[in-house]
Structure 1
Amino acid sequence: MKRETRLIHSARPPYESGRRPVNPPIVRASTVDFASLAEMQSAMQPGVQSAQSFTYGVRGTPTVFALESLITELEGGYGTKLYSSGLEAISAVLLAYLRPGDHLLVVDTVYAPVRNLLESFLSDRGINFDYYRAHETDLESLIKPETKMIYTESPGSVSMEIQDLAAIVALATARKDILVACDNTWASGYCFRPLEQGVDLSIVAGTKYLGGHSDVLMGSVTATESAFEKLHNTSVLLGLSVSADDAALTLRGARTLHIRYPAHAERAIAVAEWLKTRDEVVRVFYPPLSSSPDHALWVRDFDGAAGLFSIELDPRLKPRLAALLDSLQLFGLGASWGGFESLVLPCDMTANRSLDDWHNRGPVVRLHIGLEDPDDLIDDLSAGFRAMDCV
């Protein structure tokens, strides 16, 4: 069954008395009332046996389980746990598998809050880490006896480097005791499935394309069978959960992912190609472009593209950046992405990279291309560049 059909038919409620609602009902609950002690004891099995057992609200309700099941099928995994945000999902992964004294390898192009989590929280608790370049050619030399995980993000945050996950997985597999985790939010499980490459854990901020409407916060981690139990148990121990309402919003958004996702890409490619022609733009960071240094890897591993990319402007334009951003009428100025609307966000690369020097480079702006007509977006950006000329 193709993924488009799976998105429509996965996690639908069963027929009861010959009928059913199209969408799973929103089940809100804290207490679950059992008819007998025997039924309670049967439902409350230890570990993953009760991963989708309706026993207590914090463990999930049928609405939550439906979204978990859909994402599991989309990602091709064994099981999925949901979290209240993408960052909470990432935190759950790091807390589930790392212990004091362990070593973690993290790609230097990681989502900035992960860098803060490592440097301000986990390092104080005895977890050691090193950053590696997205195109590191000798990753094996950075592995230590105590290395337990390689944490990847592909494409990389803002600068959009595609990692050779097949090579990373081969390296980890040879060691046998190293897990590979991948932030898969850009692809959202739709155009790239890391677990099919041998990755152990695929992390997605469902806030973005799965929800798709900028009105819900959601995170997910999909794991292989060997990795799922520890993820599940840690989530239960920490009381990590999501509301049925947020799960329902995300589930509703996911049903149209196969329509929205390619539409974002089509518009993004048109805008990115136009930006390449502008004198103000030094480079466009977007793997689907044939000019991207990672285009071949993107073609090999991905069968689609998100509407998210970045541009680097001429360094001389840094004092005039506000004129560009403040003059835009169709692009909102804000964090997150993946909704129907277009957004821009200036990015401080000097604060979010450890291995490459960005100090003498031009300002970087991340763009999310929404579902507006690309010609209108191009006109808006063109007016923004003209506003820079007036400063």
Structure 2
Amino acid sequence: MSKSDDDSLRPATKLVQGGRRPEWTGDPRLGGGVVNPPVWRASTILYDNIADLKARGHATHDKLYYGRRGTPTVWALADALTDMEPGAEGTLLYPSGVAANSSGLLALLAPGDHLLMVDSAYEPTRAFCNGMLARMGVATTYYDPLIGAGIAELIRPETKLIFLESPGSLTFEVQDIPAIVAVARERGVLTMLDNTWATPLLFPALAHGVDVTMMSLTKYVGGHSDAMMGSLTATRAVWPKLRSAAYQLGQAVSPDDCALMLRGLRTLDVRMARHQASALAVAEWLAGRADVGRVLHPALPGDPGHDIWARDFSGASGLFGFALKGADEAGRTRFIEALDHFGIGFSWGGYESLVVPSNPADIRTATQWSDPDPLLRLSIGLEDPADLIADLARGFAAVAG
């Protein structure tokens, strides 16, 4: 047991103590232990004898068996993430967030099943539904992210899973997760949430009734734009299916990358507080400009999702969007290319600020994105927000010029 298994501890303390079990950080033969779990690199595991080999068994997750099944460095990260989700049985790690999503869907769906997928989902998730899931005979229906309890009307006898992403990572709609979960449980349907935007620090998904929660650890958990990984954390009822599928698919992660993720996890609380404060400062400045059509940030009181966000979330991250009022594609390009402190890049959650153009109308099918103004997505990093605001002002000047 690690210190963070104590349910009375607050999240920031759990982040510091999670995964630091003495059997992974100490060696009595050396007279003590170390702060961080060492990086255990291994493919082949050696056994003392045949009896030892047989005793390990094939269904292990915290004993050395074969490198693909993990080492203490891998287990330490999984253990720490599990500690962050009250009600979780365990966490599985994948080489990317997309791999985590895809593996989770494969584990929980079979030919003939029906999936309800939120229309604001991350585009690679849609591509997997429309591609591999369709080829294996799984039908997908996309639904309005604001449907709430109305999801009941879309559930069929063959519906096995409802997938949520809240807020959406392009358009930032906040879903009524408790209402959807209540319907799903009543109808015997599982729920899976992409929780990358909030992390369990700001939204403990399983405590809100979700069965499986996914994160792209590449984003806020890693926090330094130098490693890729994804995770699935699940309840006891669902955990065995996910673990079995991960083993069958050969999903494995590097212990070196796990060490980087553990390093990022320790500072997640303080970094998220800075991301939130800086993003709100920038968002509020944007909201006051006449050349901004609207700001898509659920923590702003005027945002359509603000009330649900305030009810369910304990904070906000640094990712949001805004519309350039009256601009065209060329104007949006001039805006982006005039910026000095915002890199042009698809990821987010690192220490650096990023910007990308956003075109949700191109991928929506269940809902229509009709805003005529071009959208931009900002990931606010750890720079001084005053410098970021000055940089954005240069972008507006480039559009006007």
Q: Give the TM-score category using the shorter length.
A: over 0.9
1:273-303 Cα distance to aligned partner (Å, 9 max, x none) = 0000112211111111111111111111110
2:177 to 143, 158, 165: 165
Which residue of structure 1 aligns with residue 145 of structure 2? 134
Instruction: Report what 1:51 is aligned to.
Output: 61
Q: Read off the aligned partner of 2:50 and give its amino acid letter.
A: L
Q: Identity over the aligned pairs, expressed in percent?
A: 45
**What are the superposed Cα offsets for residues 345-391 of structure 1, whole Å, 9 maximum, x if unpaired?**
1012122211233366211110000011111000000011101112x
Which deviates further from its counterpart, 347-356 or 65-74? 347-356
TM alignment of 1:287-366, pairs within 5 A: 287-358=298-369, 361-366=372-377
Measured against aligned partners, the alpha-carbon deviations of 1:231-272 in whole angstroms (never above 9, x if no partner) come to 000000010010001111001110000110110000000000
Q: Tell me if 1:204 matches 2:215.
A: yes
Say whether the 8 Å CA contact 1:268–1:369 is kept in structure 2: yes
Residue-pair matches, total: 386
Does 2:51 correspond to 1:34? no
Partner SS, residue 378 of structure 2: strand
Report what 1:238 is aligned to: 249
Q: Per-residue deviation at 1:317? A: 3.4
Q: Could you say what secondary structure the match of 2:364 adopts?
A: coil
The counterpart of 2:20, out of the listed 12, 33, 39, is 12
Q: What value does the CA root-mean-square deviation take over the aligned residues?
A: 1.1
Aligned match of 2:6: none
Instruction: Report if the CA contact (8 A) 1:162-1:294 is conserved.
Output: yes
Runs of 4+ in 1 over 6 A off after TM superposition: none
CA distance in 2, matches of 1:117, 1:258: 32
How far apart in 1 are the matches of 2:178 and 2:358?
29
Aligned with residue 107 of structure 1, among 89, 102, 118: 118
Question: Retained in 1: the 8 A contact 2:327–2:374?
Answer: no
**Alignment partners' CA distance in 2, 1:316 and 1:367:** 17
Deviation at 1:40, TM superposition (A): 1.6
- The superposition leaves residues 120-157 of structure 1 with CA deviations (integer Å, 9 ceiling, x where unpaired) of 22111100010010111521111110000000001112
User: Which residue of the partner structure matches residue 77 of structure 2?
Assistant: 67
Would the aligned equivalents of 1:13 and 1:21 in 2 still touch at CA under 8 Å? no
CA distance in 1, matches of 2:366, 2:156: 19
* Matching residue's letter, 1:141: E
Matched, 1:185 2:196: yes
Query: 2:40–2:72: 8 Å Cα contact kept in structure 1?
Result: yes
- Structure 2: how far apart are the matches of 1:298 and 1:345? 24
> Scaled by the length of structure 1, what TM-score is found?
0.97
CA distance, structure 1, for counterparts of residue 384 and residue 371 of structure 2: 35
AA of the residue aligned to 2:91 = T
The TM-score, its normalising length taken from structure 2, stands at: 0.94
In structure 2, runs of 5+ residues without a counterpart are: 1-8
Residue 160 (structure 2) pairs with residue 148 (structure 1)? yes
Letter aligned with residue 162 of structure 1: V
CA distance in 1, matches of 2:132, 2:115: 14
Q: CA offset at residue 162 of structure 1?
A: 0.9
Decide which moves more: 365-374 or 313-322. Answer: 313-322
The alpha-carbon distance between structure 1 residues 360 and 273, as it changes in their structure 2 partners (threshold 3 A), is: closer
Q: Determine the C-alpha separation between the residues in 2 that align with 1:147 and 1:360.
A: 32
Matched, 1:86 2:94: no
Kept in 2: contact 1:82–1:221 (CA 8 A): yes
Aligned residue for 1:354, secondary structure, equals coil
Q: Distance in 2 between matches of 1:45 and 1:215?
A: 33
Question: CA–CA distance in 2 between the matches of 1:316 and 1:346?
Answer: 13
